[in-house]
């Protein structure tokens, strides 16, 4: 969260102060967002899901997975001078890590560049295919830290939370009625630079397509509170209603008002909402009674300090807030998790992948399918590997034709490949033995092919 310098401003005037950001040039084509009324009519897809009884409840978000992302961000900071700040190598490595996870899960990602304080910065935008493109549910968090530390609560926590929600969208095969978009903003700590430049460049026609922007900046504070943005009554209600079902009291968020990436969206007329667990304000006795923790101490004593590490996270707050994010995304997007039709052929035989060695092949026998394979054959892959950039993955058809699924890349520093690839195999007979071929082409890494499947 952007640090407020000087005397504390009244709540409504803070917003203006927070929007004094450094100018920048966006070099990528921007996707757009903007408001519709809170009582806008539901999309046809969402209405169909409800009418057929397939409306989906949000799944539980694995806090262990969220913490694993935080561990990766900590490792990145440790390896890059102790921080993940704008213009530093740790920030670019953070972008690469998140992008690798999203690409593997099937998102369409765009990295946008801008310049601030003489250094190149990056926003990462990820779109989940499908949903009504005229109605966008947009969730975001800033990925940069201050230069004094790793920024694991501020704002690794929000970044990891929305990342795991996005990956859960993919794992669940979620089919939203509205289009889902996620963003990881750069240079927030320098004055909301990344998000402000994104919004400034949005075409009006694209701005008009967003139904809501949801912001998550600090959701795992060690002495936490449960604060909900009150900028829009409907969005506020979605979060408050969720916490009420968990018997968790909430308060209106005031400490961060206008000091994070929702502010540029709101100033452009976009409806905004979000969650916050507290920064350097002091927890009162009444708040400690409601939420536990220590009265008279900051919500986050390591705010913008070198001690903002993985030790600076409250697991319960991180878990509750991550689940609340998923609840809002599922509730507002109005879709279903009905998987696409098709017959599945799967191998669950685990194979070790030799380090810098020969390729391994895993066979699957397909039978009972008429004619040729489809032009949209789905190949799902689950590979655990310490450096996925070393891997080359091919699908080999019954005719011995080879279909490249993934090339090796020195820029792909993430771990694991859990993805579904679409292959035009219409020239291939459907029945017969198909093989997944995996080769590790460089040394010093290890992994295994856990399973793979074909969906016809």
- pLDDT number for residue 337: 46
For residue 453, give both structure tokens.
């499947």
- Identify the H or E element spanning 92: helix 89-105
| Strand ranges in 129-177 using DSSP code E only, listed in sequence order | 132-142
Q: What is the pTM of this model?
A: 0.67
Q: What is the pLDDT along the chain (456 residues), one digit of tens a residue?
A: 877 654 333 332 223 333 333 333 333 334 433 323 232 333 333 333 333 334 468 999 999 999 999 999 999 999 999 999 999 999 999 999 999 999 999 999 999 999 999 999 999 999 999 999 999 999 999 999 999 999 999 999 999 999 999 999 999 989 999 999 999 999 999 999 999 999 999 998 898 999 999 999 999 999 999 999 999 999 999 999 999 999 999 999 999 888 999 999 999 999 999 999 999 999 999 999 999 999 999 999 999 999 999 999 999 999 999 999 999 999 999 865 444 457 889 998 999 999 999 999 999 999 988 889 988 898 989 899 988 889 999 999 999 999 999 999 887 777 888 888 888 999 999 999 999 999 999 999 889 999 999 998
Contact 265, 33 (CB under 8 A): yes
- pLDDT number for residue 442: 92
Which of 245, 326, 334 lies closest to 58, judged by CA? Answer: 326
Report the C-alpha gap between 293 and 301 in whole angstroms: 12
Active site residue ranges:
188
- pLDDT number for residue 341: 54
- pLDDT number for residue 260: 97
Q: Which long-range contacts (CB under 8 A, 24 or more apart) does 340-344 make?
A: 340/173, 340/455, 342/378, 342/455, 342/456, 343/368, 343/369, 343/455, 343/456, 344/453, 344/454, 344/455, 344/456
Mapping DSSP to helix (H, G, I), strand (E, B) and coil, where does residue 246 land?
A: coil
**CA quadruple 257, 262, 267, 272: dihedral sign:** negative
Contact 329, 139 (CB under 8 A): yes
Residue with tokens 């060695």: 357
- Identify the H or E element spanning 393: strand 391-396
């Amino acid at each position: 969260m952007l640090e407020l310098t000087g005397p504390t401003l009244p709540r409504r005037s803070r917003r203006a102060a927070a929007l004094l950001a450094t100018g920048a040039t966006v070099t990528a084509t921007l996707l757009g967002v903007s408001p519709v009324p809170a009582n806008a009519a539901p999309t046809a897809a969402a209405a169909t899901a409800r009418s057929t009884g397939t409306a989906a409840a949000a799944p539980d978000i694995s806090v262990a997975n969220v913490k694993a992302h935080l561990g990766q961000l900590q490792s990145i900071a440790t390896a890059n001078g102790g921080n993940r700040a704008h213009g530093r190598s740790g920030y670019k490595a953070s972008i690469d890590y998140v992008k690798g996870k999203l690409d593997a899960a099937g998102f369409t990602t765009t990295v946008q560049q801008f310049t601030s304080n003489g250094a190149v910065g990056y926003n990462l935008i990820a779109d989940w295919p499908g949903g009504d493109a005229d109605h966008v549910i947009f969730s975001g968090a800033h990925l940069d830290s201050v230069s004094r530390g790793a920024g694991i609560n501020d704002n690794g926590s929000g970044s990891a939370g929305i990342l795991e929600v996005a990956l859960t969208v993919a794992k669940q095969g979620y089919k939203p009625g509205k289009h889902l978009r996620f963003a990881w903003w750069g240079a927030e700590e320098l004055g909301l630079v990344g998000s402000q430049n994104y919004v400034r460049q949005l075409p009006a026609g694209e701005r008009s397509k967003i139904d809501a922007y949801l912001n998550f900046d600090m959701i795992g504070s060690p002495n936490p509170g449960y604060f909900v943005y009150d900028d829009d009554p409907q969005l506020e209600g979605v979060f408050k209603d969720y916490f009420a079902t968990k018997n968790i009291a909430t308060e209106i968020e005031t400490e961060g008002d206008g000091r994070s990436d929702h502010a540029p969206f709101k100033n452009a007329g976009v409806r905004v909402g979000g969650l916050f667990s507290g920064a350097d304000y002091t927890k009162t006795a009444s708040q400690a009674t409601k939420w536990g923790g220590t009265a008279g101490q900051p919500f986050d004593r390591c705010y913008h300090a070198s001690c903002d590490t993985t030790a600076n996270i409250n697991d319960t707050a991180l878990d509750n807030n991550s689940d609340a994010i998923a609840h809002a995304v599922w509730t507002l997007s109005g879709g279903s998790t009905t998987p696409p039709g098709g017959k599945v052929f799967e191998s669950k035989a685990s194979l070790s992948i030799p380090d810098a060695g020969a390729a391994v092949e895993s066979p699957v026998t397909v039978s009972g399918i008429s004619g040729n394979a489809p032009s949209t054959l789905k190949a799902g892959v689950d590979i655990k590997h310490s450096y996925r950039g070393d891997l080359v993955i091919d699908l080999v058809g019954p005719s011995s034709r080879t279909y490249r699924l993934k090339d090796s890349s020195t820029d792909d520093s993430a771990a694991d490949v859990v993805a579904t690839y679409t292959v035009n195999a219409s020239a291939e007979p459907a029945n017969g033995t198909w093989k997944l071929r995996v080769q590790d082409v460089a040394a010093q890494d290890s992994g295994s092919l856990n399973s793979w499947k074909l969906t016809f």
